Structure 1
Amino acid sequence: MEPGGLEWLLVPMQQLVSWGAAGAMVFGGVVPYIPQYRDIRRTQNAEGFSTYVCLVLLVANILRILFWFGRRFESPLLWQSIIMIITMLLMLKLCTEIRVSNELNVKRRSFAAADSKDEEIKAPPKRSYLDFDLNYFWHWSKFTDYVQCVLTFTGVTGYITYLWLDSSLFVETLGFLAVFTEAMLGVPQLYRNYQNRSTEGMSIKMVLMWTSGDTFKTVYFILNQAPFQFSICGLLQVFVDIAILLQVYLYSHYPQKPVSHTAHPASTKAL
């Protein structure tokens, strides 16, 4: 058979592989949050999930979208950011509703335990984005406050980007900040493990999922010649994942001291 005779089969196969890789990039980052969302909704308890993860990913992906206007990159990476922003907003909505509801229930239980008939049940104080109180930043009472904050950040950074779009230095710095912010998402977990001298409560399967996902992303960036910021920060993410894996091994085989804090679930990191 002539070499050209297999082209009719190889070309569609290559296209399917390309589509599969692109689909994995678009939706792979949000996959860990699906069971997290379902678990929070089922237990009506959001204490194990830090909404600051949502903040970091929202900032990172908004900056990445703005970077796209200055330097066009692969469409799957753009769609990945859009899907991640929608996912984080859904997580914020669920966590806010459950947190506010639980705070009210605690008030009711305290009132019932006091067995007081003269006092009224007071709802927890409402905290708003428009209060501009830094003590309660990103800990507001309504989901709409988070939306207002995200829209404000998007509007301000979008306007600044529009003004400086012709500056290659600004555009490249914007791209670096976007991917570097996301790359640092695993560092708090790394530091928390170091403080506790333990990784108790972390799932080794989840850490392996982090490593495989970040490795896949980095290879994808390199093969598709994505902007260099993506490849550098992808490698940084892989190094952080490997460091956490080393912590899991060291602290499980050579325990340092009893755990003094409860570690957050490992599923709060994006792939």
Structure 2
Amino acid sequence: MDIEVGILEEDMEGSWTLLSWLASCVMVFGGTLPYLPQYQEIQRSSITEGFSTRVCLLLLIANILRIFFWMGKQFELTLLLQSVVMIITMLAMLHLCCNIQHTNRVNTKQRHFTDLDLRYFWSWNAFEDYLLFCFAFTVLCAFLTLLLLDSVLFVEGLGSLAMLFDAILGVPQLQQNFNNHSTRGMSVKMVLLWTAGDIFKTAYFVMNDSPFQFCVCGAVQILIDVAILLQVLY
């Protein structure tokens, strides 16, 4: 009897380990899935108006900050890897949008990050300008983190700031849809993927006792996803 119980416990432990591993894989790569159909749609139609590159800005800032937050407060390695994958995904989206806009551009006036003109912030012509911004922002964050790593207030504030940018990432898309009176380039399927992903992500945060900033971020994202879904539907 004891042998059977032991075998059953081992089977349950093995199943839980497999489930936990699968959940971690979904967390790392699941956030990129909603952007795959949008990437394909932009590539097919050569139209970028339906996608707000401000989403890329928010996600790049959020995930760069999250990496430095991890240095001060080691949470799950899964969430660190998720940040790296998301940064790569956002750079890929920006690269595509820059290529499409370069092909469709009528105005020959060039705008670059090094111009330091706030009027055209995040509206630069070359993909290299976006890379330069990310590099400069990363160096600044690295300097401040090394300087203030022993400060609990700084580390917690860094985490809260990272999650704030992550939580409001849907706001630029929400605003662009409202201003354009259109959700062209978006689909119900894509927004449902966003919503399902954020629900899963929030549940993962709660079940794994992630820092409270992650849980608050997930809840806010779900509300914004629902608002975007209503725009697409109506």
TM-score (norm: length of structure 1): 0.77
Post-superposition offset of 1:71: 0.3
One-letter identity of the residue aligned with 2:22: G
| Identical aligned residues as a percent | 54
Q: Residue in 2 aligned with 1:8?
A: 10
Correspondent of 1:75 among 74, 77, 81: 77
Post-superposition offset of 1:35: 1.9
Q: Do structure 1's residue 232 and structure 2's residue 206 form an aligned pair?
A: no
Post-superposition offset of 1:195: 7.0
Does the residue aligned with 2:168 lie in a helix, a strand or coil? Answer: helix
Does the residue aligned with 1:77 lie in a helix, a strand or coil? Answer: helix
Q: How does 1:160-175 map to 2 (within 5 A)?
A: 160-175=144-159
Post-superposition offset of 1:244: 4.5
- Between the aligned partners of 1:210 and 1:81, the Cα distance in structure 2 is 16
CA RMSD of aligned residues (A): 2.2
Correspondent of 1:101 among 93, 100, 103: 103
Q: Residue in 2 aligned with 1:136?
A: 120
Q: Residue in 1 aligned with 2:66?
A: 64
Does the residue aligned with 1:207 lie in a helix, a strand or coil? Answer: helix
Q: Residue in 1 aligned with 2:162?
A: 178
- Between the aligned partners of 2:7 and 2:22, the Cα distance in structure 1 is 25
From the superposition, tell whether residues 21 and 102 of structure 1 become closer, same or farther in structure 2 (CA, over 3 Å). Answer: same
Q: Which has the larger radius of gyration?
A: 1
Gap runs ≥5 in structure 2: none
From the superposition, tell whether residues 164 and 148 of structure 1 become closer, same or farther in structure 2 (CA, over 3 Å). Answer: same
Does the residue aligned with 2:223 lie in a helix, a strand or coil? Answer: helix
Gap runs ≥5 in structure 1: 108-123, 253-271
- Between the aligned partners of 2:151 and 2:24, the Cα distance in structure 1 is 30
Kindly indicate whether the alpha-carbon contact (under 8 Å) linking 2:66 and 2:83 is maintained by their aligned counterparts in 1.
yes
TM-score (norm: length of structure 2): 0.89
From the superposition, tell whether residues 3 and 19 of structure 1 become closer, same or farther in structure 2 (CA, over 3 Å). Answer: same
- Between the aligned partners of 2:178 and 2:97, the Cα distance in structure 1 is 28
Post-superposition offset of 1:204: 3.2
Please identify, of 16-25 and 30-39, the stretch whose mean Cα deviation from structure 2 is larger: 30-39
